[in-house]
Amino acid sequence: MYNKLQYISQGESVEEQLYNIHQALDNGCDWIQMRFKHQKPKKAFALAEAVKFLCEEYLANFIINDNVHLAKQFAADGVHLGLSDMDVTEARAILGKTKIIGATANTFEDIVKQVNNGCDYIGLGPFQFTKTKTNLSPILGLEGYRSIISKMEQAKIDIPLYAIGGITMQDIDPLINTGIHGIAVSSIITKSNHKIDLIKQLNEKLYGNVIV
């Protein structure tokens, strides 16, 4: 069973990224997706090396966004691929059968394609507007999730779905009610001054008040 709370890392520098990731881990988040776009290879390497060590220390899943070769180099738990990143089948050939490959989707058709290519989970979004990402795909909202999940049920497609994109605490209950598996969040954790309480609340909502 995949963890229901993913933290997608933020930060303009290696130091800022590491601080934010360490804070998330230290306060109860056990799935890290390292997202460090458009950086020099040396910086991405340095960050991945440090995050791999941290995730091992905290027994957390370590997923790298986009960079399949870096994920292989550091034996990360897997990779997350956007719609314009490497194809899932190509990534699978590089990483092997045991690694987790997550894939982004914005439509039901995207999901069909990614599932047919062999991904392990879907990051479906954006739920609403988010400043974290440029070139945002069309916003889905609750109705979008309901519609897509209904089509998945009709097509008998069963794969963990993570909602992503500008999610706040108030959004989680209605999102869970659509049938999603979990959420992938960034700013809500990064910007919180009370991370331990926030992550505890998020997990309680996602796991139905079961302590994780």
Domain ranges of the chain: 5-206
Own/partner long-range contacts of 14-21 (Cβ < 8 Å, ≥24 apart) = 14/43, 14/46, 14/47, 14/50, 17/47, 17/51, 18/47, 18/50, 18/51, 18/54, 20/189, 20/190, 21/51, 21/54
pLDDT beneath 50, residues of the chain? 210-212
Query: Which pLDDT does position 132 carry in this prediction?
Result: 66
Backbone angles phi, psi at 161, to 5 degrees: -110, 130
Query: Which pLDDT does position 212 carry in this prediction?
Result: 45
Its CATH class, for the domain covering 5-206, is alpha beta
Query: Which pLDDT does position 50 carry in this prediction?
Result: 98
Q: What is the pLDDT of residues 159-206, one digit of tens each?
A: 999 999 999 999 999 999 999 999 999 999 999 999 999 999 999 999
pTM above the 0.85 mark? Answer: yes
